[in-house]
A and B are shown apart, each in its own frame.
Chain A
C-alpha cells in the first residue's frame, strides 16, 4: 500500500510546534472533556457554565475592542471556572458578527463584545440591519470606555481648540478630515463634531486606523478624531497634536490635553464604549452570573491597571449593571441617529 510521502514531513514539522500550543491544547482538552461530560451525563444537575463559552468579537484580533475583551474575559474565565474562547469575526463594520450573535442559541454559551458602532451607530448607518441592538440582545455589562481625541497634523495652523473651531468653520471648503472607514469610531465621532459645528468638510476615508494615522503623520490630511490608544505615542513624540479629549475629565495618560469642556466645546462628548451582550432570551440567572463575573473582573487590580494603560475609562459600579447598559444603548442610538445618514 502506498502511503503519501507527505506524512514524515508533516510530523517533522508539527513536532516543534506543539509546544507553543500547549495552552491551546490544554484549553481544547478541557473543552473536549467538558463536552464529553455533558454528553455522558446530560441529566446531571446543571449549574451554568458547564462547558466553554464562545465570545464573539466583531473586530480583528489585536484591535481596541479585542484587547478589552481579552483582558476582561481572561479574568471572567477564572471566576466562572470555564474557558472563554474568543472568536474574531470581522466584516461590515462588525455587523456580520453581531448578526450572527443575535441569531445564536440563547443558552449563555455564545456572547458578544460589541461596541458603540455595532450596538448604536449601526442603527442609522445600515437601514437593512438584520438585528436591533435593543430588541435582539440582553445587555450584560459595560466593560470600558475609550476616550476620543481631536487630532491634527503637527503643522496645522490652529493652536488650540477655539482656534481650530474658528479655522475649520472659516475654511470648511478647504480642510480634509481623515477617518478609518464608514462606521468606524473615527468616522462616527467626527460626524458628531461636524454636526455640532454645523459644517460639512471633505472626509477622506482610509482603510483602518493605521493608514489614516500614517496620512496624518505625513501631513496629507488635516485632522481626525480617534481613540486614545492609537494616538498617545504619536502625540508624545510630537508627530501630531491633540486639541482636546471628548470626556468630562482629563485622561491620566495625556494630562496636558484639555477636555472639550475646558477648551470651549462642551457639546462634543464622545466615547467608544465596549460592552458585553447575550442573545435575547438568555435566562436572567445566567445574565446575572455573567454580570457578576464581569464586575469582579473590573474590580481586579491587574485588569484595572491594564485597561488604564490603554487609556480606557473603567465604568463605575452603577454603570456596569445590565439596566445601565440598556439605558446607554438607548441613549446612544438616540444620539447618533440624527447625526449619521444611512449608507445607501
Chain B
C-alpha cells in the first residue's frame, strides 16, 4: 500500500498550480516540436534547458518530460499529413498513415494515433509506478550480445514491413547500414567515409536523411507532371474527422498489443522505442487476416506503432528513475537539468527525491490527459490544412524543413545534405525502393555495429556468445523464424508468378 501513498503524494505534487502549468507548457511545446518537421526533441530540450534554470527542479523536469512524450504525440501528425516523420519512432506511422490521408481519412488516422497514444501512455505510467524497480533488471540483463541480437531482430522487422520485393527491402536496409557508418568510428575514432567534411565527422543525422528521403522527395514527386490530379482528388475526398465505430473496433486489439510491446521494449536503453514501433507494426501485419492491406492505409498500421512508441516513451523513464542512468540522449539532457539544479540522479533517487520521482510519474498521467484534450480538437485543424492548395503548401514545407534541419546543429551543410537525400529519395521512388527500411537500417546500424564489436571484444572474438547467452539466442531464434515466415511466401509467390507470367 506504500505504492498508493507514494502515488497520492505524487498527485499532490503534480497538482500544484505551478507544476500543472509546467506540465501543460511541456505538452504544448512537445506537440509543437513533434509537429514541426526537423525540430527534434533533443534539440528543443537542449535549447530549453537554460530556461529551466530559473524554475523549481520538479517543475522543470515535469516540463522537460512533457516535451519528450508530447513530441511522440505530435510526431505522428506530419507523418500522416505530409509523409514526413519528425522522429525515428514515427517512420512506420508514415507508411499507412499517409496512405489513409491520401484516401481522405487523415482525420481518423490522426484521431486513432492520439487515442492509441493516450491509452498506451496511461498504461505505461501505471507500469512505471508498479513495476519500475523489478523491470530495471531487464535493462541490466541486456549486454552487448543481447543488444546485437535485438538489432538483428529489428532489421528483420524492417524486411517484413516492406510491401514490395524482399530483395529490394534487404538492399535498402544494408544501404541504411552503410549510411550509418559515415563518421567517426566509436572504437578507434577513425574518420570513415567522411571525406574530411567536418559536419560529417559525427555521421549523418537522422533528421537530415529522414527530411530528405521522405519530405523533400515526396515534394519533388508531387511536383511531377501529372501528379496534380491525384492531389486534387485527395482534397475532395476528405470525409469524417473522427474514426468510425468499425475503425475503433479494428484498432482496439492493435492498441493493446502495441502498448504491451512498447512498454517492454521501451525499458531497454538505446533503440528501444524505435524497435517497439517497428515490432508493433510487424506483429499486426503478421496477425492480420489480409496482410496486403498494410501499406495501403490500414488503420491497424497507425494504431499499433503509435501506441507502442508512446508506451516506450513512458517506460524509457524507468532506467532514469530507478538506476539514475539516462537511457537516451533526451534523458541525458534531463540528467543535465537535474545536475544544474544540484540533484544528481542515482539508484537512490526514488528514496531521496520522492517529490521529484512520484511528482513526475503523476504528471505523466496528467500530461497524457492534457495531450489528448489538446490533440483531438487539433485534428480538425490539421485536416483543414490539407485543403491548402499544394502550390502554397509545398514551398512552406520546404522552408519549415530547411529551418528545422538547420536548427538541429546550426549547420548549413546539413540542409544541403538533406537536399541531396531528397534527390536520392526521388530516385528511390522512381525505382520502387522503399525508404522506411533504409531509415531503420540507419537508426539501428550504429547500435548493431557497436554492440557486435563490444560483444566480440568482451568474448575475445568468440562468435558463439550470441547463441550461448539464452536471451540473445531466443532473440536470434525469433529473428530467424520471422525471416523464414517472410521469405517462404515470397518464394511461393515467385513460383506462382512464373506460371502466370504469360497472362501479363
A93 contacts partner chain B, Cβ-Cβ < 8 Å: yes
In the complex, are the beta carbons of B53 and A182 less than 8 A apart? no
- The stretch of A7-15, A35-43, A283-291, A317-325 that contacts the partner chain: A7-15
In the complex, are the beta carbons of B32 and A62 less than 8 A apart? no
| A91 CB, nearest partner CB in chain B, Å | 4
In the complex, are the beta carbons of B339 and A205 less than 8 A apart? no
| B334 CB, nearest partner CB in chain A, Å | 8
Residues of A within 8 A of B185 (CB): 182, 343
Given A91-B202, A205-B454 in contact, is the A62-B50 Cβ separation under 8 Å? no
13 of the cross-chain contacts (CB-CB < 8 Å) are A13-B31, A17-B25, A17-B29, A24-B51, A62-B332, A62-B340, A92-B184, A96-B199, A125-B189, A182-B188, A205-B186, A343-B184, A343-B188
In the complex, are the beta carbons of B319 and A62 less than 8 A apart? no
- The stretch of B137-145, B213-221, B477-485 that contacts the partner chain: B137-145
In the complex, are the beta carbons of A234 and B396 less than 8 A apart? no
Residues of A within 8 A of B325 (CB): 210, 213-214, 217
In the complex, are the beta carbons of B24 and A16 less than 8 A apart? yes
A6 contacts partner chain B, Cβ-Cβ < 8 Å: yes
A197 contacts partner chain B, Cβ-Cβ < 8 Å: no
Q: Among B186, B331, B348, B410, point to the contact of A182 (Cβ < 8 A).
A: B186
Residues of A within 8 A of B25 (CB): 16-17, 19-20
Q: Which chain B residues (13-37) contact chain A, with CB distance < 8 Å?
A: 21, 24-25, 28-29, 31-32
Given A20-B48, A91-B202, A92-B201 in contact, is the A74-B450 Cβ separation under 8 Å? no
Contact digits for A31-74, partner B, Cβ 8 Å, 1 yes 0 no: 00000000000000000000000000000111100110011001
Q: Among A92, A205, A310, point to the contact of B198 (Cβ < 8 A).
A: A92
In the complex, are the beta carbons of A67 and B345 less than 8 A apart? no
Q: Among B53, B339, B345, B347, point to the contact of A74 (Cβ < 8 A).
A: B53
**The 4 residue pairs across chains A and B that have the minimum distance between CB atoms:** A62-B336, A233-B346, A182-B189, A343-B189
| B262 CB, nearest partner CB in chain A, Å | 21
A229 contacts partner chain B, Cβ-Cβ < 8 Å: yes
| Cβ-closest chain A residue relative to B42 | A60
Q: Which chain B residues (450-464) contact chain A, with CB distance < 8 Å?
A: 450, 453-454, 457-458, 460
Assembly CA distance A205 to B27 (angstroms): 36
Assembly CA distance A130 to B197 (angstroms): 12
Given A17-B28, A344-B188 in contact, is the A218-B140 Cβ separation under 8 Å? yes
| A103 CB, nearest partner CB in chain B, Å | 11
In the complex, are the beta carbons of A207 and B450 less than 8 A apart? yes
In the complex, are the beta carbons of A220 and B32 less than 8 A apart? no
Q: Which chain B residues (196-210) contact chain A, with CB distance < 8 Å?
A: 196, 198-199, 201-202
| Cβ-closest chain A residue relative to B202 | A91
A236 contacts partner chain B, Cβ-Cβ < 8 Å: yes
Given A5-B388, A91-B409 in contact, is the A13-B344 Cβ separation under 8 Å? no
B329 contacts partner chain A, Cβ-Cβ < 8 Å: yes
- The stretch of B85-93, B107-115, B276-284, B377-385 that contacts the partner chain: B377-385
A202 contacts partner chain B, Cβ-Cβ < 8 Å: yes
| A44 CB, nearest partner CB in chain B, Å | 30
Residues of B within 8 A of A91 (CB): 198-199, 201-202, 409
In the complex, are the beta carbons of A86 and B382 less than 8 A apart? no
B242 contacts partner chain A, Cβ-Cβ < 8 Å: no
In the complex, are the beta carbons of B54 and A23 less than 8 A apart? yes
Residues of B within 8 A of A206 (CB): 450, 454
Residues of A within 8 A of B29 (CB): 17, 20
Residues of B within 8 A of A61 (CB): 45-47, 49-50, 333, 336
Assembly CA distance A130 to B191 (angstroms): 14
In the complex, are the beta carbons of B337 and A92 less than 8 A apart? no
B127 contacts partner chain A, Cβ-Cβ < 8 Å: no
In the complex, are the beta carbons of B381 and A4 less than 8 A apart? no
Residues of B within 8 A of A208 (CB): 332
Assembly CA distance A280 to B460 (angstroms): 47
In the complex, are the beta carbons of B50 and A70 less than 8 A apart? yes
| Cβ-closest chain B residue relative to A15 | B28
Residues of B within 8 A of A2 (CB): 388-389, 392
B327 contacts partner chain A, Cβ-Cβ < 8 Å: yes
| A254 CB, nearest partner CB in chain B, Å | 12
In the complex, are the beta carbons of A217 and B323 less than 8 A apart? yes
Q: Among A6, A183, A210, point to the contact of B189 (Cβ < 8 A).
A: A183
Residues of B within 8 A of A70 (CB): 50, 53, 340
Residues of B within 8 A of A24 (CB): 50-51
Contact digits for B119-151, partner A, Cβ 8 Å, 1 yes 0 no: 000000000000000000001111110000000
Given contacts A23-B50, A310-B344, A343-B188, 18 further A-B contacts (CB under 8 A): A9-B385, A12-B381, A91-B198, A91-B201, A92-B202, A95-B201, A181-B186, A181-B189, A211-B269, A213-B325, A214-B325, A218-B139, A220-B143, A229-B339, A229-B344, A234-B324, A343-B184, A344-B188
Residues of A within 8 A of B24 (CB): 16
Assembly CA distance A8 to B344 (angstroms): 42
Q: Which of B49, B189, B329, B454 has the most CB of A within 10 A?
A: B189
Assembly CA distance A17 to B349 (angstroms): 30
B495 contacts partner chain A, Cβ-Cβ < 8 Å: no
In the complex, are the beta carbons of B344 and A4 less than 8 A apart? no
Residues of B within 8 A of A95 (CB): 201
In the complex, are the beta carbons of B324 and A233 less than 8 A apart? yes
B356 contacts partner chain A, Cβ-Cβ < 8 Å: no
| B136 CB, nearest partner CB in chain A, Å | 10
B393 contacts partner chain A, Cβ-Cβ < 8 Å: yes
Given A9-B381, A62-B46 in contact, is the A210-B326 Cβ separation under 8 Å? yes
A299 contacts partner chain B, Cβ-Cβ < 8 Å: no
In the complex, are the beta carbons of A17 and B202 less than 8 A apart? no
| B182 CB, nearest partner CB in chain A, Å | 13
Residues of B within 8 A of A294 (CB): none
Residues of B within 8 A of A217 (CB): 140, 323, 325
Given A229-B339, A232-B344, A233-B324 in contact, is the A344-B190 Cβ separation under 8 Å? yes
| Cβ-closest chain A residue relative to B319 | A214
Q: Among A130, A205, A214, A306, point to the contact of B323 (Cβ < 8 A).
A: A214
In the complex, are the beta carbons of A343 and B186 less than 8 A apart? no
Q: Among A8, A20, A181, A205, point to the contact of B51 (Cβ < 8 A).
A: A20
A204 contacts partner chain B, Cβ-Cβ < 8 Å: yes
| Cβ-closest chain A residue relative to B351 | A237
Q: Which chain B residues (32-91) contact chain A, with CB distance < 8 Å?
A: 32, 45-51, 53-54, 63
Residues of B within 8 A of A213 (CB): 325
Residues of B within 8 A of A88 (CB): 46
| B404 CB, nearest partner CB in chain A, Å | 15
| Cβ-closest chain A residue relative to B48 | A20
Q: Which chain B residues (252-291) contact chain A, with CB distance < 8 Å?
A: 269-270
A221 contacts partner chain B, Cβ-Cβ < 8 Å: yes
In the complex, are the beta carbons of B388 and A4 less than 8 A apart? yes
Contact digits for A169-199, partner B, Cβ 8 Å, 1 yes 0 no: 0000000100001110000000000000000
Contact digits for B436-456, partner A, Cβ 8 Å, 1 yes 0 no: 000000000010001001100
B187 contacts partner chain A, Cβ-Cβ < 8 Å: yes
Q: Which chain B residues (147-192) contact chain A, with CB distance < 8 Å?
A: 184-190
| B283 CB, nearest partner CB in chain A, Å | 28
A106 contacts partner chain B, Cβ-Cβ < 8 Å: no
In the complex, are the beta carbons of A5 and B385 less than 8 A apart? yes
Residues of A within 8 A of B378 (CB): 9
